[in-house]
Amino acid sequence: MNTTIKDLCALALLCAFCVPFLSSCDALDEAPDNRTEITTPEKVRQLLTSAYPAESPAVLCELSGDNLLDDNVVVPATHNAAMYKFHEEAYMWEDIEDYSTNVSDTPYQIWEAYYQGISVCNHAIAAMQEMSTDPANDLQLAHSWGEAHVLRAYLHFVLVSLFAEAYKDEARSLADRGVPYVTIPETVVHVDYSTSEFLHDVKTTYDLIEKDLLEGIDLIDDSKYKIPAYHFNRNAANAFAARFYLFKRDYTNCLKYANAALGANPVLRNWRAINVNTLASAVNDYNDETQPWNYLIQSTYSYQWRMMVSNARFAINEGTTFKSDGKSWRVGSTLTTTMWGPGPNWSSTLPAYSGMVYVNGAGQQYGAWLFRLYEYFEYTDKIAGIGYIHQLYQPFNADETILCRAEAKLYLGDQQGAIDDLNTWTSSHLVTKTLELADIRKRYNRANKDNDYVSELHPAEMGFEKVLTGDDLSVLDCILHFRRAETVHEGHRWFDIKRYGIKIYHHYRGPNEDDIHTDSLTWDDPRRVLQLPNNVIESGYPSNRTNSAVGGGSGAGYVIQSPKQTIIPKLYQK
């Protein structure tokens, strides 16, 4: 059976220039030749604005990782249902079967939106090839040529990070299935994307990402953008390259591109300048597109804030202890390890987050969340109370990039350089005490079996050539902790869990259950790979887990009801 890009929910972007972010595949009713002609450099630039996806894998990654707890376990006498069934399935590391295709944050929406973006990039590249025999050296086209290739690389990078194993090494990653790497525009309805032309192993997928990245990164010209932070500008592209090479464990190139993004004197977020008078003003300041530390801002239709506020079955919360099957379990506080706990050179809470953490009920019965998660709501009909959710994420910023650089320095043998970068990060987050190696040794002491700040790592099993020990391992634990705090709600912790083979536990209790269930995810568990969307498997595409998924709903669009009640969040005061 031929697997079509319609089945993969990507071919809809044949008409994306006319209707950006349209998620329905019904747009294929018209022949491809009736689409808008892309005949000028300006039209190419306009086309590429629709290639940035309005979906983020943050919700699925947070549910899969170790930041969220099941409040049915940690809050006594609660029996809450999940906001959506697929939230529970993701938390339980099951195949995600029960979702509607018109709901954001699902595997279907992510797969569709990112392949949509890839399709747009491919049409833009093809259009430029028709305009010039050498677009990379054409003054009118070079910038768009660069943006299209870097964006295409990034979209495939997210897909392979989510739907495939983490990169291990050349030999092991040859044995792991990647994702279809699509580089040509669809001109027919039926294309078999399960052939070797498109479906590659993880190593080959990484090689193709690198090829696209290097093709475009030096061509990007920020002066061509009206608002650079909403595009792959130079800093964003260099930050992406730094993260890509970090995941590939090419630390020399990671350092090179992180330096290019950060410059000689890194400028990190100015937390003191954030207006905390209202929640909305704080969020606006955080996402200010004019600030030099905000490299790339992504607007999505995510329900994440509502999941954390209106429902909070799965939330950041204090831990607990319980007994199950004759064994005592200790659940660590993820509030402590992400937002509200002491660090190696600060006490009580990270100063930048002080006064920025909210809860939705007394006793944390509905979990905690950091201010930046707050959503924007765009009314299309105020009387009917309907419109569009806008959840802003920052795929790349200076604060996360300097942590990539710190990790690269550590593996390159520059421990003090790594600590210097960690000091830059803490000082920018309003910490006044200088970070010393002795502080790191004390906080990340692995002799303490209940130390929530360290994780069970499996670098050797994941193909790391260099396995850190002693003080270097403590510095790595510090970097991973800072990355967890810096990227809370954004899903990056899940990718750190995957690439380091971190063992994690999930404890859960269903809304109609009394018993608590416990499960663990080891470094070699196939459930670390998110199962493909139902419709992709049903179309004949090979499953990337043992059990195939069935079901799913239908529909399209993102119009939703605004909250029936005004949600008044409360600052969490310890």
CATH value at residue 177: 1.25.40.390
Instruction: Centre a 10 Å sphere on the Cβ of residue 383 and count the other Cβ atoms it contains.
Output: 6
Q: How far apart are CA 436 and CA 420, in angstroms?
A: 9
Nearest one of 343, 337, 357 to 493, comparing CA atoms = 337
Residue with tokens 């309003």: 430
User: What whole-number distance in Å separates Cα of residue 177 and Cα of residue 203?
Assistant: 9
The residue type of 368 is A
Is 194 in contact with 182 (CB distance < 8 Å)? no
Reference 209, options 129, 123, 114; nearest CA is: 114
Q: How many helices (H) and strands (E) does the chain have?
A: 19, 15
Q: Which residue has the tokens 């600030």?
A: 291
Direct distance between the N- and C-terminal alpha carbons of the chain, in angstroms, rounded to an integer: 58
* Ranges of H-type helices in 326-397: 334-335
Which stretch of DSSP H or E encloses residue 300? strand 296-300
- Tokens standing for 52? 């940035």
The pLDDT assigned to 559 comes to 32
**Residue 549 belongs to some domain of the structure:** no
Nearest-angstrom CA–CA distance, 215 and 135: 11
Distance in angstroms (rounded) separating the CA atoms of residues 5 and 188: 9
**Cα–Cα dist 477/141, whole Å:** 45
DSSP single-letter state for residue 379: E
The pLDDT of residue 39:
92
Over the Cα atoms of the chain, what is R_g?
A: 23
Residue 256 identity (one-letter amino acid): K
pLDDT of residue 14: 31
Q: What is the pLDDT along the chain (574 residues), one digit of tens a residue?
A: 333 333 344 333 333 333 333 233 332 233 344 456 899 999 999 999 999 999 999 999 999 999 999 999 998 888 999 999 999 999 999 999 888 888 999 999 999 999 999 999 999 999 999 999 999 999 999 999 999 999 999 999 999 999 999 999 999 999 999 999 999 987 765 677 777 787 889 999 999 999 999 999 999 999 999 999 999 999 999 999 999 999 999 999 999 999 999 999 999 999 999 999 999 999 999 999 999 999 999 999 999 999 998 878 999 999 999 998 889 999 999 999 999 999 999 998 999 999 999 987 665 556 899 999 999 988 888 888 888 889 999 999 999 999 999 999 999 999 999 999 999 999 999 999 999 999 999 999 999 989 999 999 999 999 999 999 999 999 999 999 999 999 999 999 999 999 999 999 999 999 999 999 999 999 999 999 999 998 888 877 888 874 322 222 222 222 333 333 333 344 443 3
Q: Which residues contact 511 (CB under 8 A, 6 or more apart)?
A: 72, 79, 80, 81, 82, 313
Report the predicted TM-score, pTM, of the whole model to 2 decimal places: 0.90
Cα-to-chain-centroid distance, residue 129: 32
The pLDDT assigned to 363 comes to 57
Instruction: Evaluate the CA torsion angle 67, 102, 36, 6 in order and state its sign.
Output: positive
Only one residue has tokens 């990112």, namely 114
Nearest to 126 by CA among 205, 206, 209, 182: 182
Asked if the structure places residue 35 within a domain, the reply is yes
Domain interval for residue 184? 1-56+105-232
What's at 177, amino acid-wise?
R
Residue 160 lies inside a defined structural domain of this protein: yes
| DSSP-assigned beta bridge partners for residue 199 | 180
Q: Is residue 197 part of a domain?
A: yes
Q: Which residues of 187-225 are buried (b: 16+ CB within 10 A; e: fewer)?
A: eeeebebbeeebbbbbbebbbbbbebbebbbebbeeebb
Q: Identify the helix (H) or strand (E) that includes residue 399.
A: helix 398-411
What does the pLDDT read at residue 186? 77
Distance CA 49, CA 486 (A): 28
Is residue 312 a part of any domain in this protein? no
Please report the pLDDT score of residue 380 as a whole number: 86
Is residue 457, in this structure, part of any structural domain at all?
Answer: no
Q: How many domains, in total, are found in the chain?
A: 1
Q: Which residues contact 363 (CB under 8 A, 6 or more apart)?
A: 75
Q: Which residue in this structure is represented by tokens 């992504």?
A: 298
Kindly give the pairing relationship between strand 314-315 and strand 320-324: unpaired
Residues contacting residue 418 through CB under 8 Å, at least 6 positions apart:
406, 407, 409, 410, 475, 479
Q: Is residue 213 part of a domain?
A: yes
Q: Give the separation between CA 186 and CA 204, rounded to whole angstroms.
A: 22
Q: Which amino acid is at 207?
A: D
Distance CA 65, CA 121 (A): 31
Q: How many CB atoms lie within 10 A of CB 463?
A: 17
Residue 245 lies in a domain: no
Query: Residue 311's pLDDT is what?
Result: 77
Question: For residue 383, what are the contacts with CB-CB under 8 A and spacing of at least 6?
Answer: none
180 bridge partner residues: 199
